[in-house]
């Protein structure tokens, strides 16, 4: 395992480089690939734009060149890192295909009902998405944030359709059980993400997923927060990072793709009534 020095330091200085830019920052000693990707995205997310897959490289004094960083690498002394973004061809950006897509339903729990803005609308649209996933044979992964204190998923959401229902305390949905499920689905390229709260669990999940090279579609009309300000600023921030902000109807019709699709009429029946605008139109 490559390391750079003494693991005793609580914070380690790192020079983060992307394109022609370099910024000095610190990371906790022992920081690995996931945290480094998150730090690069925090520093350069607006510049990375459409990129989806990344390689981190370490400047090697021995070779006088950058070398690819193995995923087991941990930072333990000052070093210089470079992010190389591998651009996805423009023709494939945002193209949802049922066979390579998974739906993530985040923390749609009973105790959030009185607190989340437009929660009734979000539940309605979330269930519409889950029904659509079931019709199209798309796996659904559901998490529940500390269900002992915050209750189970609301009764309106049909959990019998879900591939996995996982309790968590981490804000991000990317917990070991979810990672294991993704590893069992090696063809997955896109995640359709919805639930609560937009600026916390949704945002952290989305950043974790794009850090793993997955394309993320956040369904704006199935995602909310306690505060509309937090909701809208999170969606704006995530869009700048290259995450696709979309709507439930757009997702379902993109997955069908053709009126001659064998499941078109079933999906059409789901969207016959337009989804509630859940406060989004007043903010456009």
Exposure pattern of 94-122 as b/e (b: 16+ CB <10 Å)?
Answer: eebebeebbbbbbbbbebbeeebbbbebb
Positive or negative: CA dihedral 196, 197, 199, 205 = negative
Any idea which residues carry the catalytic annotation? 107, 168, 201
Same domain, 120 and 196: yes
Secondary structure (DSSP) of the chain? --B-S-TT-SEEEEEEEETTEEEEEEEETT--HHHHHHHHHHHHHHHHTT--EEEEEEEETTTTEEEEPPTT-B--S-EEEEEEEEPPPGGGTT---GGGEEEEEE--BGGGTTTSTTHHHHHHHHHHHHHHHHHHT--EEEEEESHHHH-SBPTTS-GGG-SEEEEESSSSS--HHHHHHHHT-TT--EEEEEEE-IIIIIHHHHHHHHHTT-EEEEEEEEEE-SSHHHHHHHHHHHHHTTPEEE-HHHHHHHHH-STTSTTHHHHHHHHSSPPP-TT-GGG-
Measured distance CA(11)–CA(30) in Å, rounded: 9
Same domain, 55 and 189: no
What is the pLDDT at residue 46?
61
Domain edge (last residue) among 45, 66, 90: 90
Domain edge (last residue) among 53, 72, 90: 90
Question: Token digits for 227?
Answer: 């505060």
- Number of folded domains that form the chain: 2
Same domain, 137 and 258: yes
Residue in the structure block whose two tokens are 């690995």: 32
pLDDT at 90 over 60: no
Establish if 284 belongs to a structural domain: no
Question: pLDDT digits over 29-87, tens only?
Answer: 999 988 898 888 888 876 665 455 678 999 998 888 999 998 789 999 999 999 987 76
CATH number, domain containing residue 38 = 3.10.20.90
Residue in the structure block whose two tokens are 């793993």: 212
What is the pLDDT at residue 212?
82
Same domain, 73 and 111: no
Establish if 113 belongs to a structural domain: yes
Establish if 2 belongs to a structural domain: no
Domain edge (last residue) among 67, 90, 113: 90
Same domain, 110 and 181: yes
Question: pLDDT digits over 168-205, tens only?
Answer: 999 999 999 999 999 888 889 999 999 999 999 999 99
Measured distance CA(137)–CA(155) in Å, rounded: 22
* Mean pLDDT, the chain, integer: 89
Same domain, 129 and 247: yes
Same domain, 34 and 82: yes
Rounded to the nearest 5°, which phi and psi values hold at 224?
-155, 180
What is the pLDDT at residue 49?
55
Establish if 1 belongs to a structural domain: no
Which of 15-24, 81-90, 226-235 has the highest average model confidence (pLDDT)? 226-235
pLDDT at 225 over 90: yes
Q: Is 134 exposed, middle or buried (0-12, 13-18, 19+ CB in 10 A)?
A: middle
- Identify the band that residue 6 occupies on the pLDDT scale cut at 50, 70 and 90: very low
Q: Within a 13 Å sphere around the CA of 69, how many CA atoms are in the beta-carbon half?
A: 25
**Contact yes or no for 103/133 (Cβ under 8 A):** yes
Establish if 281 belongs to a structural domain: no
Length in residues, the chain: 284
Measured distance CA(187)–CA(37) in Å, rounded: 22
Same domain, 104 and 72: no
Domain limits for position 172: 98-273
CATH number, domain containing residue 111 = 3.40.50.850
What is the pLDDT at residue 110?
95
Same domain, 23 and 104: no
What is the pLDDT at residue 13?
95
Same domain, 77 and 115: no
Same domain, 22 and 57: yes
Bridge partner residues of 76 (DSSP): none
Measured distance CA(250)–CA(257) in Å, rounded: 10
**Contact yes or no for 29/75 (Cβ under 8 A):** yes
């Amino acid at each position: 395992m490559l390391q750079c020095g003494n693991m005793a330091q609580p914070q380690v200085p790192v020079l983060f480089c992307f394109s022609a830019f370099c910024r000095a920052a610190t990371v906790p000693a022992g920081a690995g690939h996931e945290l480094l990707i998150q730090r690069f995205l925090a520093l350069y997310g607006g510049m990375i734009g459409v990129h989806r897959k990344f390689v981190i490289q370490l400047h090697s004094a021995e070779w006088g060149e950058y070398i690819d960083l193995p995923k087991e690498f941990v930072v333990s002394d000052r070093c210089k890192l470079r992010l190389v973004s591998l651009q996805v061809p423009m023709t494939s950006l945002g193209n949802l295909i049922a066979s390579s897509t998974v739906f993530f339903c985040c923390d749609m729990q009973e105790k959030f009902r009185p607190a989340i803005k437009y929660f009734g609308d979000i539940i309605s649209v979330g269930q519409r998405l889950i029904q659509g996933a079931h019709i199209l044979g798309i796996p659904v992964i559901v998490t529940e944030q500390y269900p002992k204190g915050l209750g189970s998923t609301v009764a309106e959401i049909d959990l019998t359709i879900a591939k996995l229902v996982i309790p968590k305390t981490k804000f991000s949905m990317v917990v070991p059980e979810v990672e294991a499920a993704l590893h069992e689905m090696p063809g997955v390229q896109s995640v359709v993400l919805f639930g609560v709260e937009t600026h916390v669990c949704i945002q952290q999940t989305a950043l974790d997923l794009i850090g793993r090279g997955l394309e993320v579609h956040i369904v704006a009309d199935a995602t909310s927060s306690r505060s509309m300000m937090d909701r809208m600023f999170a969606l704006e921030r995530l869009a700048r990072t290259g995450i696709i902000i979309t709507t439930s109807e757009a997702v379902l019709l993109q997955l069908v793709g053709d009126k001659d699709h064998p499941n078109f009429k079933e999906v059409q029946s789901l969207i016959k009534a337009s989804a509630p605008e859940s406060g989004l139109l007043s903010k456009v």
